[in-house]
Amino acid sequence: MITHPATISAPTPDPDEERRRIQTARLLAYRDDGPLVHALGPRLGKGVPPVPATLVALLAVIALQVSGVLKPGPILLLPVLIVVLLVLPTAPRDHLGRFDWLTPPLLRGTEFLTIVVVGLASDAPKWLLFVLVYVVGYHTYDTVYRTRQSIWPPAWVFHAGLGWELRLLIIGVGAALGWLTPVLAVLTAYLFVLFAIESVTSWVRLDKASAQAGADAEQDLEASPEDAQEAATGEAERG
């Protein structure tokens, strides 16, 4: 006797679990972690709570600036190291705590403040600091806007963008060696080209796909009922 194979229905995903998964993915994307965090994160166990650690890093940078200890020289690497050492262990967390949504804005604010503090202490051009902050801010805005429309940036962008940790380390080392201005210029130009080209090409590709889908739908709507019936009959006969 010939029997038809039983149809195995795929398990329905739990709505709460799916919501938590998407929330975690969004917050991790908004963090903008780079290759160093992705390499060391899995080795850090469960990690530490992200909001307290990031807030302490932010307050530490403010305290260093207010104290007046930041002068040209190796000391300028100190605020960068404090931020990296405090925030990097927060990466393994699932970011599902009640206040974990504060982590991305706190982290971005800490990154921007550290860039400005180190840059001003090194007497770097203020306009260059502004452009770098703007470029990174645009990348963050682009990421948020995409994910809210369920359009996820490719993973390689976060690695190529170096992440907050490598950007800060590059700036800190450049400031400690007295080369911050050329380092800022190269880093800003690189990030500007990377983020601008990737963002523009992605949105153009999406617009073309949406336009093609709209054209196909419009063509289907314009077809007369007789044409549609004839096409369906022809396909049935060929089958």
Q: How far apart are CA 49 and CA 177, in angstroms?
A: 33
Domain annotation for the chain: domains and CATH numbers: 18-218 (1.20.120.1760)
221 versus 53: the higher-pLDDT residue is: 53
Binning pLDDT at 50, 70 and 90, where does residue 221 land?
very low
pLDDT of residue 148 exceeding 90: no
Query: Mean pLDDT over residues 70-88, rounded?
Result: 95
Binning pLDDT at 50, 70 and 90, where does residue 24 land?
confident
Write out 90-139 in H/E/C secondary structure: HCCCCCCCCCHHHHHHHHHHHHHHHHHHHHHHCCCCHHHHHHHHHHHHHH
Q: Write down the pLDDT at residue 88.
A: 95
Q: Write down the pLDDT at residue 223.
A: 47
* Lowest mean per-residue pLDDT among 66-70, 160-164, 227-231: 227-231
Chain-centroid distance, C-alpha 27: 9
pLDDT of residue 126 exceeding 70: yes
pLDDT of residue 22 exceeding 90: no
Mean pLDDT of the chain: 83
Q: Write down the pLDDT at residue 218.
A: 47
